[in-house]
Amino acid sequence: MEISLAAVADAVEALRAFTGGPVTDLSEDELARAHAAAARVVRLAQVPAAVLATEIARRSDGAGGGMARRRGERNAARLVAKHTGGSTRDAHDQITVGQLLGGGDDAGADFGGNDAPGGPGDGAGGGAPRYPRLAAAVTSGAVSAAKAALVVRTLDDIDGGDDGIEARLVAKAIRLTLDELRKVCVEVVALWNHRRHEEREKAMRGQRYLTLTEQADGMVTLSGRLDPASAAPIAAWLDAQVRAGFAARRDAGLGRAEPGEAGRMRVDALVDLARHGMRCDRPGSGVSTTVVVRIGLKDLTTGVGIGSCDAISTPLTVSQVRAMAVDSGWLPVVLGGASQPLDVGRARRFFTPAQRVALAERDGGCAFCHAPVAWCDAHHIRPWSAGGRSDLANGVLLCTRCHHRIHDDGWTVHATDTAVWFTPPATVDPARTPRQGGRAALHLDLATASGTTPTSGGTPTPAATTGAHPTHAPPR
């Protein structure tokens, strides 16, 4: 197998324009462009590394452990990780990407991003990669190995989906962070095969546990694993208490919190909750918390589909949503059915609780950085003092940091009842191309992507529009 470094060399040459002096002399714009160029070098260098890692895996898959065992390692992933200095998870990602590109065979290949015969368009043995759009994004340096491996696993989980799903996942991979892409992929898998997701949900329920272990120095270690439904009320409660605690610090003028303060606040919140439970005949104290669960009306009536919860990112089955919604402290939101009047115009200075729920449904948390709902406040896009209305088209959920970032850095916000867009300043994007924010930015509509919608068993059927996640065009 031949490895071409032409694309890597070109990327290094582009980075060379920023060398020759201390980085402290670079302007902010030059620093951003230099870092982007360096990151592209890293992504392109991952291509030959992935192909070589896959060949190591092929040679290690033999009697007696093969190449890895002969070099003192348990398996190929550990040998690759030893070479790279990274984790075995990173090594598995490299091997997965090498397999995607056609590595691990004896056929000649040019994986440097060129169009030579036997290159990335041809894959192993001259055949096309099973996910050609993703392979092209990797070899061009647009998608990292970690993102590519995640997309491969997602497509494999849905038996490849179809061409439209691959294209849309690649587009998400180019634009989103790895953590954001992971949320998209979890939702795609859950939507594609409801039965498998329901079985996985039941299995997670059976695996939940919590232990408290007293250490020699007297400290107690708390550890465990929680299924999504069990974690949701705990996460919502703790997030609310931490947010209230930091707000109280700001109001008291105490300045920045000390390192680890959020963790100590969570401990105090759990202790207060346990003490309240031991004297439940007395009124509780603390910040009240409502956990919002949502489900599409069609999904609720048919029993086929998934729901979501503000406190966690894992999708929930319809049966789980129904079970959660009967408990006190949970607010079920049915999409597409009757709802409360939400546009109160100038009648109120602040957004109503019902409006905040609707903003959370549209924005999914901070509409800009996707922080949890509990970290956010509802802000007027056009200030109320300047005549801005307290309605959904003039509201957006933002965490404190993003609220200041948008105001201080010159971003503009455009919203409707169902979508929100952020337009960057010219210093960030000279073309000032609007970027979709909110929940829609992390959602991949399978019906739109493929013209089909999955059934409970994973077999596509003719698509039907639910209206729960419409596709919106950016503002002009």
Token representation of residue 168: 């849309």
Statement: residue 79 has pLDDT above 70: yes
pLDDT-derived band at 136 (thresholds 50, 70, 90) equals very high
Task: Give the residue with greater pLDDT, 201 vs 464.
Answer: 201
Token representation of residue 200: 């996985």
Statement: residue 199 has pLDDT above 70: yes
What proportion of the chain, given as a percentage, has pLDDT over 70?
A: 76
pLDDT for the residue 331: 60
pLDDT-derived band at 417 (thresholds 50, 70, 90) equals confident
Residue 213 forms beta bridges with which residues?
A: 221
The mean predicted confidence, pLDDT, of the chain is 77
pLDDT for the residue 454: 45
Rounded to whole angstroms, how far apart are CA atoms 371 and 360? 11
* 367 alpha-carbon distance from chain centroid: 13
pLDDT, tens digit, for every residue of 137-180? 999 999 999 999 999 999 998 887 766 899 999 999 999 999 99
What are the φ/ψ torsions at residue 397 (nearest 5 degrees)?
Answer: -85, 125
Statement: residue 467 has pLDDT above 80: no
Statement: residue 202 has pLDDT above 60: yes
pLDDT, tens digit, for every residue of 418-466? 889 999 988 888 899 999 999 888 888 776 554 444 444 443 333 332 3
* Mean pLDDT, rounded, for 397-425: 85
pLDDT for the residue 237: 85
pLDDT, tens digit, for every residue of 265-281? 888 888 877 766 655 55
* Mean pLDDT, rounded, for 224-253: 84
Contact assessment for residue 222 and residue 214, using Cβ atoms and an 8 Å cutoff: no
In the three-class reduction of DSSP (H, G, I as helix; E, B as strand; rest coil), residue 292 is classed as strand
Rounded to whole angstroms, how far apart are CA atoms 189 and 299? 16
pLDDT for the residue 460: 37
Sign (positive or negative) of CA dihedral 300, 304, 310, 312: positive
pTM of the model: 0.64
* Mean pLDDT, rounded, for 121-131: 57
pLDDT for the residue 456: 44
H/E stretch holding 315 reads strand 312-317
Task: Give the residue with greater pLDDT, 260 vs 64.
Answer: 260
Rounded to whole angstroms, how far apart are CA atoms 121 and 100? 11
In the three-class reduction of DSSP (H, G, I as helix; E, B as strand; rest coil), residue 314 is classed as strand
Residue 143, C-beta contacts closer than 8 angstroms, at least 6 positions apart: 43, 134, 137, 151, 170, 173, 174
Lowest mean pLDDT among 51-65, 222-236, 418-432: 51-65
Contact assessment for residue 193 and residue 458, using Cβ atoms and an 8 Å cutoff: yes
Task: Give the residue with greater pLDDT, 353 vs 149.
Answer: 149
Residue-level length of the chain: 476
Residue 330 forms beta bridges with which residues?
A: 291
